[in-house]
Structure formats: C-alpha cells, structure tokens
C-alpha cells in the first residue's frame, strides 16, 4: 500500500494491511539511534499550536534519526505570525514552501484537514500529518497505542479493552476506537461519567463495523474483565465551565490497589500526560505499559514518515 505524499488526517485512513506493513517497518526502526539516511535531504516542519512533550519530541527525533532536518515552532500560537492574526492556511503555505511535510498540532478539530485541503487547492503537494487537533483525532497516537498492543499481545485481534475517562474530549480514545474497529474479535468497554461519554458518531461507526461494545459508569465492574485498560486524563483545557471540570476530575483515579484488581496479565495504557489520575507508584507496577507506549511513538512515527516521504 502506497501512502507516499498523503496527508494523515484521521485514523480511519488506515486499514489492517497498511497497519501491518507500517508496524513491521516500525519493528525494524526500533530504538533511539537507528542511524539511517532514509530522510537525507528531506525537511519536516513542526507546527505546534498546543503544548506537547511526546508528539513533538518523537517526531523531531524521528526525523533526526532518519537523517532529515526539521523546522520547529513549539508554541506557534504565540511565536508564529498567528499571534499577528495570520490564518492557519497561510502559515501552512509558508511551511510548505520550506519543508516536505508538515506535522500539525492545533486546538481546532478540523485544522489538519483545513491546512491539507488548502495546500491541495493551491496545487502545493506537501502532506500534513495530524499530530492531535482539537477534540476529535490524534491518529499517530492511536498508531503507537495499537502497535503497543500488538507488541504486548502478539496480535491485533481477539482481545478486550476498556477505554476509560474523559471520552468526550479525548481525541486519542476516539482515534484508537476507529483503529480497533478494523480488527476482528475486539470487545470495547467504554467507561466514563455520563457527561463525558464517547461521541455518538463513534458508537455509530462501531455499530456499522459490527464491533462489540458497551458503556458503563462503573469502573469497578469492568476493571477485572479486560485485557487492556486505556485511560486518559480529564482535559481541563477543553471544559467551558471550570466548575464542571472540578466536579468530574478524579472520578476514575488509578491507585495501586485499583490496578491490582486488573485481570492477571492485564496492561494499563495511557497516551500521557498523566495529571494525577494514575498514582505515581503505579509507574513501577508490571501492569503499567504507558512508557513503552510513548517510546513506541518514536518507531511508529519513523515508519510513518518513511512511508509518506
């Protein structure tokens, strides 16, 4: 499957054969010093309008490790000409004049699609990679999540997973659900307070793709029944009313005692950052797989950049 030159906007773009190809390549590119020259002579622009640790650093490391160069604006909202009123489309066009691909993080749900469509209209064939836009999608995080499941389980089908927390605002949970829908025998259990339930667009998609799922507000009822727990932080910055955030935060906190109730061999995944919803001591438990997941973001992004560029 050839995705050369293609923008990556949403997780639904990936089908199982492409994922397998990508993940096999990520296996080859494991480690922080693969010292290749695959991207020699290629340049990637990192436009980050929102804070990031993993996504920006892993994309930058990926480019560097593959022998390419990158331009980076880590606080584009303040330090690019967006601060002077420049439209995203124009900033993207500028970056496209200097680089061969654009990695974009932005608070607007449709930012990656807007930038990509605008460049196409200008016949400027520079792919845009969605590095987390708004509340809807973070496809490259979902690739790292699914790759980690494949690494831990040895397969990408026939398992159960609880997706827990602020499902209304968690773009990573939504992108992961879209990817999981591509495989057989997966049972998804969504666990969230009523106000933060997963979007009806996702449940409709799962129904259309014959994915078995249910929804619960009771983590205690679900925790011992699944192979993986995927939890996320409650996203304070996406609440319109802060009192609503204060009321809901802490509703699904993972303590050491709670993690011990997971199914034997079960793994706790989290896209990170953690903001108190997983106790510090859980980092040292065998169930915690979130650092492995973050490390995997590097090899998956290397493989993706190689395939696109």
> Does residue 55 carry a catalytic annotation?
yes
Distance of alpha carbon 303 from alpha carbon 138, whole angstroms: 17
**Residue 132 or 266 having the CB closest to ligand CP:** 132
**Residue 144 or 226 having the CB closest to ligand CP:** 144
Q: Which residues contact 142 (CB under 8 A, 6 or more apart)?
A: 11, 172, 175, 176, 178, 179
> What is the smallest separation between the CB atom of 50 and ligand CP, expressed in angstroms?
8
54 binding ligand CP? (CB under 6 A): yes
Catalytic residue among 56, 73, 91, 105: 105
> What is the smallest separation between the CB atom of 131 and ligand CP, expressed in angstroms?
7
Distances (CA, A) of 179 to 16, 144, 205: 9, 11, 11
Distance of alpha carbon 293 from alpha carbon 248, whole angstroms: 26
135 within 8 A of 171, measured Cβ to Cβ: yes
Which segment (10-18, 30-38, 212-220, 265-273) binds ligand CP by CB under 6 A? 265-273
**Residue 80 or 130 having the CB closest to ligand CP:** 130
**Residue 91 or 235 having the CB closest to ligand CP:** 235
34 burial (CB, 10 Å; 0-12 / 13-18 / 19+) is middle
139 binding ligand CP? (CB under 6 A): no
Q: What is the 8-class DSSP label of residue 8?
A: B
273 binding ligand CP? (CB under 6 A): yes
Distances (CA, A) of 81 to 2, 89, 117, 119, 124: 35, 12, 21, 18, 21
Which segment (47-55, 95-103, 118-126, 275-283) binds ligand CP by CB under 6 A? 47-55
> What is the smallest separation between the CB atom of 142 and ligand CP, expressed in angstroms?
10
> What is the smallest separation between the CB atom of 132 and ligand CP, expressed in angstroms?
5
Give the total of residues touching ligand CP (CB under 6 A): 10
Active-site annotation, residues: 54-55, 84, 105, 138
What is the binding site for ligand CP (CB under 6 A)? 52-55, 132, 138, 141, 271-273
């Amino acid at each position: 499957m050839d995705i050369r030159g293609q923008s990556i906007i949403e997780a639904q773009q990936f089908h199982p054969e492409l994922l397998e190809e990508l993940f096999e390549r990520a296996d080859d590119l494991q480690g922080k010093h693969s010292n290749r020259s695959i991207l020699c002579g290629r340049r990637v622009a990192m436009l980050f309008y929102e804070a990031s640790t993993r996504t920006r650093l892993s994309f930058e490391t990926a480019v560097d490790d593959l022998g390419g160069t990158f331009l980076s604006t880590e606080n584009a909202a303040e330090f690019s000409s967006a601060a002077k009123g420049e439209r995203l489309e124009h900033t993207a066009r500028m970056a496209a004049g200097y680089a061969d691909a654009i990695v974009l993080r932005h608070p607007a749900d449709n930012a990656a699609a807007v930038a990509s469509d605008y460049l196409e209209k200008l016949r400027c064939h520079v792919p845009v990679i969605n590095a987390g836009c708004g509340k809807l999608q973070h496809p490259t995080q979902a690739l790292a999540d699914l790759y980690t499941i494949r690494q831990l389980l040895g397969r990408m089908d026939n398992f159960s997973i609880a997706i827990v927390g602020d499902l209304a605002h968690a773009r990573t949970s939504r992108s992961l659900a879209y990817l999981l829908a591509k495989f057989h025998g997966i049972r998804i259990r969504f666990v969230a307070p009523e106000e933060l339930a997963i979007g009806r667009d996702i449940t409709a998609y799962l129904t259309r793709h014959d994915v078995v799922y249910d929804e619960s507000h009771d983590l205690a009822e679900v925790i011992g029944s699944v192979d993986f727990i995927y939890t996320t932080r409650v996203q304070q910055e996406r609440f319109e009313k802060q009192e609503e955030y204060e009321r809901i935060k802490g509703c699904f906190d993972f303590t050491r005692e709670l993690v011990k109730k997971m199914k034997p061999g079960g793994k706790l995944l989290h896209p990170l950052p953690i903001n108190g919803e997983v106790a510090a001591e859980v980092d040292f438990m065998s169930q915690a797989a979130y650092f492995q997941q973050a490390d995997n973001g590097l090899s998956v992004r290397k493989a993706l950049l190689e395939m696109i560029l």
